[in-house]
Every structure is written in C-alpha cells, then in structure tokens.
C-alpha cells in the first residue's frame, strides 16, 4: 500500500510517498481502507519535529474516513498516534464512528475532528445559550468555520468572526456570521455589541487576539481557548490573573478534544448531532481543496502559508 512517510524532520519536501507494509492491528483496532485523510495544524508541527513523541519513520495524519474491512462499514476515525496519510489505517474502534449513508466521506471527515472541537468549545466548555453574542477567532479555519455555523445554529446573536484577509472575512459572512472583523479590529468588540461586550469568545489563536478579546467580554462573559499554535505575535498562550477575572466578572476555560473522545457515549452522541445538523443543511463543511496523496508536500506548503479556508483533505487513493 502507499503512504506518505516521514523519515526526517524538516520542510514539506521531506514527506515522500512510498510503498510500505500495511499496519498491524492491535486489540480494539481495525483496518480501514482509507479514502480521505485530513490535514491538521498539528501535522505541520510534527513534520518539523517541533512536537515531542513522533518516532521516525512516521506516517502523519490524525483523521481518516474510509471502509472498515472487518464489517464493510464506512467509518470516520481519529488517529491519536498518527498513521492517517496512508491507504490503509489501523483505527482504534473506540475512536471510530459509523458514517450515515447520506453523509459523504468528505463531509464526514471535515465534520469530525474539527466539528467536535467547535462543538466542545461552544457548548461543553462555553455553555452558549440562545441569544448570546459569540466571537470566533480564526473563523475561516477548519475548526473556526464550523464554529461560526454552529453558533448560528445554536441561535447565538450576533455571531462575529475574526479572520486575517478580506477573502476569509467574505467566506465567514457567507457561512453565517453577522459581522466579520480583521484581527486588528478585535478591540472593537464593545462597539460592535452596542457597548455591552460579548458573551462568549471561542478562541483558536491565543496571543494578542485572545488578550484583546478578553477586554471585550461582557460581565459573566467567557473565553474558551482550544488552540494557540499559529506562531508569531498573534498566537501563543496568554496569562490571566484571578484579579482580572473577578474585576470584570468573566471566565476563561479550555477545551481539549481528548476529554470528549475518551467518552464513547459523548463522542457518538455529538457525532450524531453534527451529522444531523449537516443532513438538515445547518452545518456544511467547506472543503478548501482535495490534494492527491502524491502532492502531500504542496498541500503542507499551502496550509502553512495560511491561505486555506475550511478543511484540507488528501485523497490517499491518488498516488501519481
């Protein structure tokens, strides 16, 4: 079978498609004939060697969709240990969910990892209520573009998306945001909400954007952080003191999908909810582009250049 193999850390060109042995399944895992693998921000860090824990040679890729050999069912799966950029993946059964017949593979994979994160940040950690105002930073990203739609579906009002380019902001409005702002305009959240401030910020960037968003929270407003890794001044951890929280009656929370993925009932319940929203047209993943596996390096270049809107996929069946 073909897979994109990482034999050394470095620039995108270190990713090479090779013929390799199929993976071996341990207990509680099944082989999946993969159709599409997702590209994720963490893959860039893993490729560069910026994250500990990647043993070379490695096959990157943390989400796949395809057909499970054991029972012929279409499944979408999260691959915590990688192995997604491959024609056959060994997927943990507890982290796999059956895809309904009326949901296409490309939608299923785009809705899974990123949709679960958007849902978890908005609903589980953010406890958004109808009528609340919601800000989504990195609103054109894989997670962000679903968070904008989910916030609107959960009757948040207004939904404010933050994105770095005019093209991304236009896309964010098309997705259902009431307002789209540039990162430099995030200090205007009070003005945009008639002086009141916002109820919930769902933040995938951290850094200067998160700090500025905090100052725009209304009393009892919350900021939920789910990502901080972009690099540069706009991203990174922020520090908040309890003095600031008490002084403004605001809250800060975090969301990591691991705590949802390890709860099978929660995982399947949320996946069903996301698929149902997709089925009824309230949630549509935007697929930025589907790259053949043979062009995985170019896909990484494009992703790292911050030009993508929505989810980026690899068609692992295309190797030339």
Ligand X SMILES: NC(=O)c1ccc[n+]([C@@H]2O[C@H](COP(=O)([O-])OP(=O)(O)OC[C@H]3O[C@@H](n4cnc5c(N)ncnc54)[C@H](OP(=O)(O)O)[C@@H]3O)[C@@H](O)[C@H]2O)c1
Residues that bind ligand X (CB under 6 A): 40-42, 113-114, 117, 138, 140-144, 163-164, 168, 204-205, 226-227, 229-232, 234-235, 255-257, 306
- Kindly list the distances between the CA atom of residue 210 and the CA atoms of 53, 93, 137, 142, 149, in Å, as whole numbers in the listed order: 28, 36, 8, 18, 21
How far is Cα 172 from Cα 141, in angstroms, rounded to an integer? 10
**Cβ atoms of 278 and 124 closer than 8 Å:** no
Tell me which residue of 211, 101, 167 sits closest to 307, measured CA to CA.
167
Query: Which is nearer to ligand X, 39 or 59 (by Cβ)?
Result: 39
| Omega of the bond leading into 137 within 30 degrees of 0 (cis) | no
Query: Which is nearer to ligand X, 199 or 302 (by Cβ)?
Result: 302
Query: Which is nearer to ligand X, 23 or 216 (by Cβ)?
Result: 216
Min CB(69)–ligand X separation in Å: 27
Query: Which is nearer to ligand X, 9 or 41 (by Cβ)?
Result: 41
How far is Cα 228 from Cα 21, in angstroms, rounded to an integer? 36
Min CB(285)–ligand X separation in Å: 11
| Omega of the bond leading into 166 within 30 degrees of 0 (cis) | no
Sign of torsion over alpha carbons 263, 266, 271, 274: negative
Q: What are phi and psi of 37, to 5 degrees?
A: -115, 145
Q: What are phi and psi of 305, to 5 degrees?
A: -75, 0
Min CB(216)–ligand X separation in Å: 17
How far is Cα 126 from Cα 219, in angstroms, rounded to an integer? 14
How far is Cα 262 from Cα 88, in angstroms, rounded to an integer? 23
Query: Which is nearer to ligand X, 83 or 204 (by Cβ)?
Result: 204
**Cβ atoms of 216 and 189 closer than 8 Å:** yes
Min CB(144)–ligand X separation in Å: 6
How far is Cα 43 from Cα 46, in angstroms, rounded to an integer? 5
Query: Which is nearer to ligand X, 25 or 261 (by Cβ)?
Result: 261
- Kindly list the distances between the CA atom of residue 277 and the CA atoms of 30, 145, 256, in Å, as whole numbers in the listed order: 28, 14, 22
Query: Which is nearer to ligand X, 142 or 197 (by Cβ)?
Result: 142
Query: Which is nearer to ligand X, 18 or 174 (by Cβ)?
Result: 174
Min CB(246)–ligand X separation in Å: 26
| Position of minimal CB gap to ligand X | 141
Query: Which is nearer to ligand X, 114 or 193 (by Cβ)?
Result: 114
Min CB(283)–ligand X separation in Å: 15
Min CB(299)–ligand X separation in Å: 12
Min CB(180)–ligand X separation in Å: 10
Min CB(163)–ligand X separation in Å: 4
Q: Which residue has the tokens 């990203």?
A: 141
């Amino acid at each position: 079978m073909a897979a994109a193999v990482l034999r050394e850390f470095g620039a995108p060109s270190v990713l090479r498609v090779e013929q390799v042995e199929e993976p071996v399944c341990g207990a509680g895992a099944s082989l999946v004939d993969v159709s599409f693998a997702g590209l994720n921000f963490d893959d860039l860090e893993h490729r560069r060697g910026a994250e500990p824990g990647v043993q070379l040679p490695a096959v990157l890729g943390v989400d796949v969709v395809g057909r499970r050999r054991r029972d012929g069912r279409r499944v979408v799966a999260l691959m915590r240990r990688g192995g997604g950029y491959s024609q056959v993946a060994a997927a943990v059964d507890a982290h796999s969910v059956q895809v309904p017949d009326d949901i296409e593979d490309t939608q299923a994979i785009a809705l899974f990892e990123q949709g679960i994160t958007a849902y978890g940040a908005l609903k589980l950690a953010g406890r958004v209520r109808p009528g609340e105002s919601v800000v989504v930073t990195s609103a054109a990203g894989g997670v962000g573009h679903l968070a904008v739609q989910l916030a609107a579906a959960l009757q948040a009002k207004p939904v404010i998306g933050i994105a770095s380019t005019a093209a991304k902001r236009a896309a964010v409005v098309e997705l259902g945001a009431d307002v789209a702002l540039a990162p430099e305009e995030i200090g205007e959240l009070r003005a945009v909400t008639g002086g009141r401030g916002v109820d919930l910020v769902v933040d995938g960037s951290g850094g200067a954007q998160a700090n500025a968003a905090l100052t725009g929270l209304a009393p009892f407003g919350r900021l939920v952080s789910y990502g901080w890794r972009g690099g540069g001044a706009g991203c990174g951890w922020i520090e908040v003191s309890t003095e600031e929280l008490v002084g403004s009656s605001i809250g800060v929370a975090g969301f990591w999908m691991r705590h949802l993925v390890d709860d099978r009932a929660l995982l399947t319940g949320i996946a069903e909810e996301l698929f149902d929203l997709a089925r009824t047209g309230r949630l549509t993943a935007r697929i930025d582009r589907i790259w053949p596996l043979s062009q995985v390096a170019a896909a990484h270049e494009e992703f790292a250049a911050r030009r993508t809107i929505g989810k980026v996929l690899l068609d692992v069946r295309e190797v030339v």
